[in-house]
Each structure stands twice: as C-alpha cells, then as structure tokens.
A and B are shown apart, each in its own frame.
Chain A
Amino acid sequence: VNAVAVRVEVRGGPRAVPGGGGPLTVAAVSGEITSMTAPALRERLAGLLPPGGRLRLDLSQVSYISSAGLRVLVLLHRQARDRASAVELAGLGEQLRFVLSATGFLDLLDIVPDQEAEKADGSPGSGLGTGALDSGGLDSPGLEVA
C-alpha cells in the first residue's frame, strides 16, 4: 500500500469542459501522499501542467495525505501560476477539506465543486496510461482522507 499511483486522462478542448478555461488534464491520484512519495509525485504532476490550460487533481482515491503531501498541492498551484496555467482539486473528503481550511491552504487553491467534477468526468476520456511511483516505507501518522 506504500505507493502512490497516478492515472492520467487528457480531455478535449475548452468546450468539453463546464466553465471553459483552456484544455483540461485530469490526473486521478490514488494511494498515500507523504514526504516519501511526494517528490516523485510532484515531478510527475509538474510534467503534466499544460501551458495555458488546467490540471485537475482528482483526490477521491487518495487514502492518506501528510503535511508534506499538502505542500505538494500548494507548490503545484504556485508553479502553475508561474506558467499561466491552473491547478484545481476535486474529490476532497470532508477531513482533507477541514485541514486545508484550518491551515489556510484552501484559500490558495482552486476547488472544483463535487457536482461539477462528476459532470466533467462523465464523458469517456482517452486513457493515456497509468504509472505507479515507487515509495519507501511509511510509518508517520497523518491524515486519513478515505
């Protein structure tokens, strides 16, 4: 279980997406995001940031995020802003949303309302592949988001 997996789907042009705003890449993240898995995840996701487009992280299958994991989300958001692209989060559980709110991170991030996320995910995408990232051991207590 000590792995984080990223499944990536790229969806079509702006019109295919409610609200518009450039081509949308959806990355569905699953597993555990900790200081051990975060560096590799960050590199993987940074490579997906579409210039002028949007990257949506679907976190609904993430079982655990530590504080280092949360930092990856904020860091990606910052990097995206530098590249005139945007990162948005979907599939936040109640607990994750609470922690993001209490630490002020929620104000920095773009959150997709659950209903909208479902709509956008409704159309079949072209699966571009699933990559598993290696990770080391994991014993730190953190945030059970599942």
Chain B
Amino acid sequence: MTLSGLPERIDAYPTERIAGYPVRPGRPLPLGATAVPGGYNFAVYSDRASAVTLVLFDQGAEQPRAELPVPDCYRVGSVFAITVFGLDQENFEYGFRVRGPDAPGPGDRFDPAVVLADPYAKLIAGGEHWGEPRPRGRLAPYRSRPLADDFDWDGDRPPGIAPEDLIVYETHVRGFTRHPSSGVSAPGTYAGLREKIPYLVSLGVNCVELLPVFEFDETDMPRSDPWGRPLLNYWGYNTVGFFAPKAGYAATGRYGMQADEFKAMVKDLHAHGIEVLLDVVFNHTAEGNEQGPSISFRGLDNATYYMLTPDGGYYNFSGTGNTVNCNHPVVRDFVVDCLRYWTAEYHVDGFRFDLASILGRAPDGGVLPNPPLLEALAHDPVLRRSKLIAEAWDAAGLYQVGSFPAYGRWAEWNGKYRDAVRRFVRGEHGVTGELAARLVGSPDLYAGRGAAASVNFVTAHDGFTLYDLVSYDHKHNEENGEDNRDGENDNHSWNSGAEGPTDDPEVRRLRLRRMKNALAILLTSQGIPMLLAGDELGRTQGGNNNAYCQDGETSWVDWTLAESNAGLLRFTRNLIAFRRAHPVLRGAEHLRGVDWVGSGYPDVSWHGVQAWAPNWVHHGRVLALMRCGKHAKGGTAADATVYVAMNAHERPHDLELPAAPPGTAWALAADTGAEPPFDSFAPGCEPALRHPGRYLLAGHSTVILVSRPSPGG
C-alpha cells in the first residue's frame, strides 16, 4: 500500500462482487490463503469436485458471515482460486463447502453440508484451550485462519550439528512442563519449554525431538478410563491441520499468537545450540475410517488423499482407520510443501516420520522399491540439510529397519538396537554377539550408510520409560480403559525382583544400576543416541507402556524427581558430557576392526574377562570394547582411547584390562556398580586406576575407562 492507501498493483482491484464481497479470479498457487494487496487469495485443490464455495466466518461465530460460490471460470486445472478484497486478517475464519460430481465414484465422499478445513491452513481456530471439547455441533469446528507470518528472527542460524554429533532428547511439549513442579510461568506450553532451556543446556543434549505439534484435537477420544474419567488423545498423532502449530500448546493461543510463540521457542533453542526435530505424522489423519468425521481431505478429494480399496473402503496400514495416499503426486507435493514450510517458516532442523514405511507404499498398498516421496524428500532443495529420520515400520507388518530406502539421507529409529540393549541389560543369554554390532552403529544393518543412519535408543514415548523397563515384567495399562489389552506385550523388561513400587533396598539399588547400564551403553554407542525426557530423572508411568491417552501424572515429567533421583541425573549429565568430550564415540563411519592409522591399535577391539579374548559363547554375558582415540572421526580428531566393559551377569567379574596406549594410563570415567559420587566423573576429573591392569566389575554393571597421559609419561 502507498501512503495514500491505494494499492500499487494493477491487478489489485476487484472485477466483480460475490455475496457482497469484491472479488477477482484468484491465483492457483500457492495453495491456501495468502495475503495479497487489498485482500486474500484462496486456492484449494479438488480433482473430483464439481463446485467449491468459500465460507467466511467472523471469528468464533456460529453462522457464516458470507458464502462465496467460486465461479467455474475461476478454476485453473483442478484448483479453485478466488481473491477476496476487504478482509481483515485478524477477524475472519474460513472453510470450504465442496460439491461432488453428479455421478459419484466408489471413492467419493463429498458432502456439501459440511464446511471443511483448508489442508494448507496456517492456523486452526477452535482449540486454543487444551482439553476443552471442540464445538462439534457447530458448522466447521476446525476453522482455518490466515497468519501474519512476519517474525523477527534476527540473526537466527540453525546450529547445523553433524548428525553423528547429535544427542536427541524426545519430549512432549505439554508433558515436559505441565506438572505443577515444573516451576515455569506458563506450564505445558512452547513458552514453558523455552523456560526450561537452561535445564537442557545443563543436561548437555543438543537436540529436542517434539512429539506432534501440528494441530490436532485431543478431545476426539471417545473412551474413558475405568473410573469414568474421559481420556484425551494426549500424544497427538491424529493430525487435523498439517501447517498449523497446535494452539493448545501455546500460552498465547487465545490471542492467535501460537506461531510467534513457537518461533520464539525455536529461536531461543538455536541460540543455545539446540536443534529442533518434529515428529510428523503423514501416514494417517484424524478423519479415521468410514465412520469418522469429514474434516478436510475426505470431503475435498477422498480418492486422492487416501489409499482406497477397489470398492472405496479404506486401507488401514496405520492401524488407525485410514492411510494417507503418500505417493499420489498431489499428496507427495502436499507433504513436501508442508515440510518446506516448517523448515523455512519455523526454522526447524529436521523431522522424525511416524510409521514412515507407509511413505513407501503405492496407492494400492504395495511396497515400492523406489518410493517417489522418499526420493523427493531426500533431494529437495529446501530440505537438503534437514535431518530425516524414519520410524522404519508400519502397523501392517512392514518392517524396514536396515532396509528403509535411504537415498544417502535417511536415518532410522533402530528398533533392533533397542531390543538388543534391553535383552542384554536384563541378563538374557545369546545377546552379546548382536550387542557388539549394535554398539558400533549396526554395520550389519547400515552398511554403506554410516553409523549416523542408526538412531539408537532404549526407550521412547511409545513403550516403557527407563525406570519402568527395570521395574516391571508386564505392562499395566488398565487406566487406558481397554482392560490392559492395548500396548506391546513383548518389552524385554525385567522388574529386578519385584513388580512395581517396592521398599526393598536391594531391588531399588539394582534398578538404579540397570538404568545406569542402559544409559552408559547408549551414550557410548556409535550412532545418534536418543533419550526419552524424564529418564534421566527416573520418571515412571506406573508400568503403562502406551500412555497415548494419559494427560496427567502418568505422562507429565515430575520435576521433584530431580531432587529425589539427583544421583541418576548427575550420572546422566556426566555421561552426556563424556560423549561430547570424546569424538572417538561419534564417528560418522563404521569402525573396521583394523588399525588403519598406524596407531598400533585397531579402531575397535573386542575383549572379555580376558583382554583381547571376547567370549562369544551363548551364555556369555560380559562384553568389552576399546576404541582407539587416534582413529577418532576418521583419524582427523585427536582423542583419548575409551574402554567400555559391560557385565549383565549377576556375579562380579575380575577383568583383565588391555594395556592403555603407550604413555597413558587408564582413568575411571564411570562405574555403574559404584555408589555415587564414585559412579561417574566429569570429563577431566577422572581418577587414575589404582591397579592399572585389572578391574573388578560388579554384577549388572558397566565400567567406562579413558586413557590419560601417565605422570611423567
């Protein structure tokens, strides 16, 4: 606009009036609602629709302010586009009514009685207050809104951390600070998470992975718990709006400022050297199966957006009722547009794809050898430096850990790492061989892809917490309201001698030690370690291994644990600091088991109770490995040599240690069998061993040694 208020573009004038509004034919791209001089451009795709009506509401109004049928001559290809003038950005919401063809096909589910959300809506109104049921009786309970997308990013720069140097911390925006003990001014919000940045910095992680933050409806859950209390869709894998940040996670959502609050959080995390990954869900939507509501895709173009059986029913590879048709060219573009938007507009650093194997399925559900979507994401110019992490399986039996189509880009949640470490830490026989491969980045799974293809984890949001993994033999999901039928049965867990809470000091001591073992193994493995938020505090879910519907004490991080489990927190901090101090643990390439820099030591060597003599027999439960510092980062970084020995046997073992490299001696970085504060030492403060040639390793313990220049040596 000029100072006199006249638009400067010659096309910024209406050509006619519809329903009282000055309008002109719109531009088909970009899709969605876009501010243009004097008004807004609306563009929506539907291949099968015969007519589209733009419905405008005053903010929060029950009934529409106006309905503008888009003239057929405004259609470009399959995009209905109209520019409407005189709209105040802050005071309108919109949606679309879509009429289908006169002769419906088996896949059509058009219903002009419904006002649909724009799949490209930058904001969704109606969910500003977490847990308040949406006005479902109202026309369009999920209202699309435009966004003022200017934000002062100042000098924000992505930290650009090499994948192999990441230490990921998986958390839930609400659960992280909602507990009354969090001490933040806006509990359960983006702003609250931002207030906890000093904690994240002191913990030492350099990446947060957020459970879904795209707008979803936590109140769309029909079930109650056994006591009749309504359950919520707390995790949020039921996306309603892919371009809209969840308003109910924003302290300022009621002012429509969730985008600003989200960006402020990202900017501040970046300023502290912490990257942001989003857990994204493109495999299904909140629209469910044939019985589900029409929110957006279903009424716009069901046959484009969903995988359909020949008779028009929904394929269900996601286990949630529908499956997004990801390799349809239109849907592929939608996914790419969405991820570009979050990368460019919100500055996020990468994505973890829920049930990513579905992204490799064809419209008929077949498994594609070269899925166009995965290839497009790997080579996309905007996403070229984004981290791409696959949950490499789906709910219909496709399991691609180690075989996900990677295009040199994709990493995977390594489910086999999780299972191997769990089985070892509970003392199973026959695991040491597989464990060895898992510790060094799973070269058996990721040959040619490097160690950073493996996201290593022992626990994640989906399953037991670390404390519960060592405290429960069985899941205890009664509070989910399905008689404990839901959730994984095979958890490779062991309760350490008593099921659940116990006063037995021996059991409690063993649990603590086994948690430390898992952390010590995780944080000294090659690959990308991922911690579940709260595990460093010994957070429990009372044995619930499927807390997707639990918005309460079960799921929220209880910050009082930072005091009651201060020893575990200190141990975790020291171990993270150890990993950050030692590039030898963080190589991008797989280790080879040979000396290729002339140091006199192989890059990795294997040991047992006897040095240089690993015992691979079936009942062997002791494994040790030594990584030569001169091989760190492909021989480019100078580092100490690190020796890690793990004993999953209940008996102690008197280990013979390999000699530390010439001129150095072993110092003790951590011993999970020792009582605090002797269980771990900050980098640089490791005490020398009293008996350099041997180490008595307690039962169910892990020791970490690091080479230090010997006095006068």
Interface residues of B in 1-36 (CB under 8 A from A): 1, 3
Q: In the bound complex, how far is the Cα of B195 from the Cα of A98, in angstroms?
A: 13
Contact A35 B89 (CB under 8 A): yes
Known: A67-B148, A108-B152, A142-B255. A102 touches B191 (CB 8 A): yes
* Residue among B3, B261, B268 having the largest count of chain A Cβ atoms under 10 Å: B261
Instruction: State whether the Cβ of A139 lies closer than 8 Å to any Cβ in chain B.
Output: yes
Min CB gap B63→A, angstroms: 14
* Cβ 8 A contact of A139, one of B58, B89, B260, B263: B58
Interface residues of A in 106-146 (CB under 8 A from B): 108, 136, 139-143
Q: In the bound complex, how far is the Cα of B230 from the Cα of A21, in angstroms?
A: 58
* Cβ 8 A contact of B3, one of A43, A66, A99, A105: A43
Q: In the bound complex, how far is the Cα of B185 from the Cα of A103, in angstroms?
A: 13
* Residue among A67, A102, A143 having the largest count of chain B Cβ atoms under 10 Å: A102
Contact B264 A104 (CB under 8 A): yes
Contact B152 A78 (CB under 8 A): yes
* Cβ 8 A contact of B148, one of A36, A68, A99, A142: A68
Give the number of residues in B that approach A within 8 Å (Cβ atoms). Answer: 32
Q: In the bound complex, how far is the Cα of B148 from the Cα of A34, in angstroms?
A: 13
* Residue among B58, B91, B185, B189 having the largest count of chain A Cβ atoms under 10 Å: B91
Known: A101-B191, A103-B252, A139-B58. A68 touches B186 (CB 8 A): no
Q: In the bound complex, how far is the Cα of B59 from the Cα of A105, in angstroms?
A: 25
Complex interface bits, B467-505 against A, C-beta within 8 A gives 1, otherwise 0: 000000000000000000000000000000000000000
Interface residues of A in 53-76 (CB under 8 A from B): 66-68, 70-71, 74
Residue of A nearest to B263 (CB): A104
Min CB gap A86→B, angstroms: 16
Give the number of residues in A that approach B within 8 Å (Cβ atoms). Answer: 26
Instruction: State whether the Cβ of B429 lies closer than 8 Å to any Cβ in chain A.
Output: no
Contact B191 A139 (CB under 8 A): no
Residue of A nearest to B266 (CB): A104
Interface residues of B in 182-196 (CB under 8 A from A): 185-186, 189-191
Q: In the bound complex, how far is the Cα of B261 from the Cα of A68, in angstroms?
A: 14
Contact B264 A139 (CB under 8 A): no
Q: In the bound complex, how far is the Cα of B264 from the Cα of A99, in angstroms?
A: 12
* Residue among A70, A71, A101, A108 having the largest count of chain B Cβ atoms under 10 Å: A101
Min CB gap A46→B, angstroms: 11
Question: Which chain A residues border B255 with CB–CB below 8 Å?
Answer: 66-67, 99, 141-143
Question: Which chain A residues border B189 with CB–CB below 8 Å?
Answer: 102
State the B residues within 8 Å of A (CB). Answer: 1, 3, 58-60, 88-91, 148, 150, 152, 154, 185-186, 189-191, 250-252, 254-257, 260-261, 263-265, 267-268
| A/B interface sample: 9 pairs, CB < 8 A | A35-B89, A35-B91, A36-B88, A68-B90, A101-B185, A102-B250, A103-B257, A104-B260, A141-B255
State the A residues within 8 Å of B (CB). Answer: 34-36, 39, 43, 66-68, 70-71, 74, 78, 98-99, 101-105, 108, 136, 139-143
By Cβ-Cβ distance, the 5 closest A-B pairs, closest first, are: A104-B264, A102-B191, A103-B260, A35-B90, A140-B91
